[in-house]
């Protein structure tokens, strides 16, 4: 009692606050104490230190305990103590709050945002800044981005759910906790954010004319769940991975510009191992003679390029890599780079790996590129048609070209209708015409259209 008397007599400060009665703001004060250095809340005491009292202390105690249990996240109950105290004939309630071990604590209905997270500033409870919130998360969760709690808790998983269902991998809330997409308290981590439809990180792809970043031929930016980004980016790369053909005797030999294994593994490496603590996009640049994959974040400390080439794996995003493994997108840790190098075993030019403190770059050479090819598009296509006459439009391809007699642009649906073909067959014919240079692509996704080449 003497201690309580002395605290009340000293008045409000960073560790003491008075409330005349219980209000919704009481939860903010409890959160602020838990996020700062702890403190004591007196309910039934006026700001001028005079006693007001609590008429139904048992009811108010129940109200406070229920509010702490249901309205504050993560679970703070073990750090809060409640007492009903008699001060003469007047009853007050004393709520003692320790600094929590899982800061930041926040209002469940507001999320890990300034309007939901409070700290003590002198005798007041004020919203925390985003910088203060991030610092609390780093202090509690460590510096690994994927393991930290996400600032955005309003997440949906339509695309991720589709991928998990296709691979017959469970994706319930309990399974998301096992996968570390949620904490034990049901709070989404940054890993959950990366796989959600709301992921803020993107993959940017650009196609350049020639060998330098001067003239754009095409560009795309893919957002949303990393799984959808991966799917969209590979489809875009595959569209520009042209097929060249030679006829040897009775047999036709097809050669793509880039080994499919190499494209796939380079893309996976850029998505799985980049440092998502940085907001920069993953960059993929397609030139006439090469494709460059640049991801943010250098090699982990203590790991060299030689170690990577030997198959050493120290994934920066271990939980993300584990999910990709479960979805059978990657076969085993440390096999990606060696697989890229093996896919170029029979070619003179080899993939090039470069690293800096903040970036990692893989360059895949175009296996079919020859310096004798002209860089001018018209001259290049003239030579290509001489070298590969079987790539000229014929049969169904001629029917597709004929569509341009009445319209300047066509869609895949136009091709399906004209040929009476399936979606897969229409895509195959369109890809052949793209590879031969007869048509080119504009737009993307549902707005993808095709135009006849001007040459």
Boundaries of every domain in the chain: 2-140, 143-195, 203-365, 377-452
Q: Which of 4-8, 84-88, 237-241 has the lowest mean pLDDT?
A: 4-8
pLDDT digits (tens, 9 = 90+) for 406-426: 888 999 999 999 988 888 888
Q: What is the dihedral of CA 199, 227, 343, 205, to 10 degrees?
A: -50
pLDDT digits (tens, 9 = 90+) for 184-221: 888 899 999 999 999 999 999 999 988 888 888 899 99
- Of the options 3.40.630.30, 1.10.3720.10, 1.10.10.10, 3.40.50.2300, the CATH number for the domain spanning 377-452: 1.10.10.10
Q: Quickly name the fold that domain 203-365 has.
A: Heat Shock Protein 90 (3.30.565)
Cα three-residue angle 158-164-167, rounded to 5 degrees? 140
- Cα separation, 293 vs 267, whole angstroms: 7
Average pLDDT value for residue range 292-316: 79
- Cα separation, 9 vs 4, whole angstroms: 8
Residue 119 Cα distances to 148, 201, 429, angstroms:
20, 30, 62
- Cα separation, 119 vs 28, whole angstroms: 9
Q: How far is CA 311 from the centre of its chain?
A: 25
Output the six-digit token pair for 173. Answer: 């809330």
Q: How far is CA 213 from the centre of its chain?
A: 27
Using DSSP's 3-state secondary structure scheme, residue 423 falls into helix
Asked, as a colleague might, if the bond just before 245 is cis with ω within 30 of 0, I would say no
- Cα separation, 31 vs 34, whole angstroms: 5
Asked if 327 and 167 count as a contact pair (C-beta separation under 8 A), the reply is: yes
CATH code linked to domain 2-140: 3.30.950.30
Average pLDDT value for residue range 277-287: 92
- Cα separation, 376 vs 306, whole angstroms: 39
Q: What is the dihedral of CA 130, 136, 141, 146, to 10 degrees?
A: 10
Query: What's the confidence (pLDDT) of residue 334?
Result: 66
Q: What is the dihedral of CA 146, 150, 156, 158, to 10 degrees?
A: -10
pLDDT digits (tens, 9 = 90+) for 95-133: 999 999 889 999 998 889 999 999 999 999 999 999 999
């Amino acid at each position: 009692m003497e201690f309580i008397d002395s605290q009340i007599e000293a008045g409000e400060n960073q560790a003491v606050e008075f409330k005349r009665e219980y209000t919704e703001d009481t939860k903010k004060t409890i959160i602020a104490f838990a996020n700062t250095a702890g403190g004591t809340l007196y309910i039934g005491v006026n700001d001028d230190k005079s006693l007001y009292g609590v008429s139904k202390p048992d009811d108010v105690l129940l109200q406070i305990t229920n509010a702490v249990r249901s309205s504050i996240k993560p679970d703070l109950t073990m750090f809060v103590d409640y007492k009903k105290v008699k001060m003469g004939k007047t009853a007050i309630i004393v709520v003692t709050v320790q600094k929590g071990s899982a800061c930041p604590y926040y209002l469940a209905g507001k999320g890990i945002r300034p309007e939901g997270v409070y700290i003590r500033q002198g005798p007041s409870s004020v919203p925390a800044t985003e910088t203060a919130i991030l610092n609390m998360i780093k202090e509690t969760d460590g510096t690994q981005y994927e393991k930290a709690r996400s600032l955005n808790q309003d997440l949906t998983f339509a695309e991720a759910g589709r991928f998990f269902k296709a691979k017959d991998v469970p994706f319930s809330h309990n399974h998301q906790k096992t996968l570390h997409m949620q904490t034990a308290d049901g709070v989404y981590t940054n890993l959950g954010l990366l796989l959600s439809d709301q992921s803020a990180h993107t993959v940017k792809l650009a196609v350049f004319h020639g060998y330098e970043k001067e003239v754009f031929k095409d560009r795309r930016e893919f957002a949303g769940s990393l799984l959808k980004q991966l799917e969209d980016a590979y489809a875009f790369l595959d569209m520009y991975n042209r097929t060249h053909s030679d006829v040897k005797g009775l047999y036709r030999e097809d050669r793509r510009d880039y080994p499919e294994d190499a494209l796939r593994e380079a893309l996976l490496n850029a998505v799985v191992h980049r440092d998502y603590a940085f907001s920069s996009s993953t960059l993929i640049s397609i030139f006439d003679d090469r494709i460059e994959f640049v991801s943010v974040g250098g090699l982990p400390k203590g790991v060299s390029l030689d170690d990577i080439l030997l198959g050493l794996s120290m994934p920066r995003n271990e939980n993300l890599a584990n999910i990709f493994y479960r979805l059978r997108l990657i076969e085993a840790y440390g096999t990606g780079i060696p697989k890229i190098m093996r896919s170029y075993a029979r070619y003179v030019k080899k993939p090039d790996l470069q690293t800096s403190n903040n970036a990692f770059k893989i360059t895949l050479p175009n296996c079919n590129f020859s310096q004798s090819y002209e860089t001018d598009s018209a001259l290049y296509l003239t030579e290509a048609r001489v070298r590969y006459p079987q790539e000229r439009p014929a049969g169904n391809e001629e029917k597709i070209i004929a569509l341009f007699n009445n319209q300047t642009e066509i869609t895949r649906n136009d091709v399906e209708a004209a040929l009476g073909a399936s979606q897969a067959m229409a895509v195959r014919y369109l890809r052949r015409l793209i590879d031969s240079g007869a048509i080119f692509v504009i737009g993307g996704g549902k707005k993808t259209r095709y135009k006849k080449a001007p040459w």
